[in-house]
Amino acid sequence: MSVPQNKSFPVSWDQFHRDSRALAWRLNAEGPFDAIVCITRGGLVPAAIIARELGIRVIESVSVASYDNKDQGELKVLKPVADSILALDAGEDSKVLIIDDLVDTGKTGRAVQAMLPNAHFATVYAKPLARDLVNSFVTEVSQDTWIYFPWDMDVSYAPPIRDGMGD
């Protein structure tokens, strides 16, 4: 069941880059990390920024689909984590970092954490239903807010707020 998305939060490329770098600052104190596992597709961009900032060269992806353009549906693992990263997560002296753009209901995050139980889970944005699931995040937004990421947007006319309120 999805929570109705009554508010919107558009994020520009500049803002997303700043927020991803802010997350890297927080993660620097938690590391060093041996590898990043980004949850595709949303985790690809912050993972690239964080990998650069923290000097991490091993980057893996896990592909989990649960959204269409607006609603959350059934979870499907389209590409699992590589065995070499699973072994790294199971090692005593290594640290794996899971990166995603957002934790919303926690459905995707829980699935990936089950694959990598010892990993540090970090997201750029977090919503209240799953905020406690992540170890690190930068900005909390309300559960009823839909975040428009820069890769999902195009330049177009935006009506004044007063025109869109309906009252």
**Listed residue (120, 115, 73) closest to 100, CA to CA:** 120
Contact 87, 52 (CB under 8 A): no
pTM of the model: 0.84
Greater model confidence, 72 or 27: 27
8 Å CB contact between 46 and 101:
yes
50 falls in which pLDDT band (50, 70, 90)? very high
CATH class of 7-164: alpha beta
What are the residue ranges spanned by the domains of the chain? 7-164
β-pair type (120-126, 96-103): parallel
124-139 pLDDT tens trace = 999 999 999 999 999 9
- Give the pLDDT score at 165: 56
Supply the DSSP string of 108-146, one letter for each residue: HHHHHHHHSTTSEEEEEEE-GGGGGG-SEEEEE--TTEE
Cα(121)–Cα(85) distance, rounded to whole angstroms?
Answer: 15
* Predicted pLDDT at 67: 62
Asked if residues 107 and 75 have their Cβ atoms less than 8 Å apart, the reply is: yes
User: Residue 52: pLDDT band by 50, 70, 90 thresholds?
Assistant: very high
Q: What percent of the chain has pLDDT over 90?
A: 74
**Per-residue confidence (pLDDT) for residue 1, from 0 to 100:** 45
Mean pLDDT rounded to a whole number for the chain: 89
Nearest Cα residue to 88 out of 39, 44, 29, 34: 34
Q: Write out pLDDT tens, residues 54-67.
A: 999 999 999 988 76
What's the pLDDT score for residue 91? 85
d(CA 56, CA 124): 18
pLDDT at 70: 59
pLDDT number for residue 161: 81
SS3 call for 140: strand
Positions marked catalytic: 100-101, 104
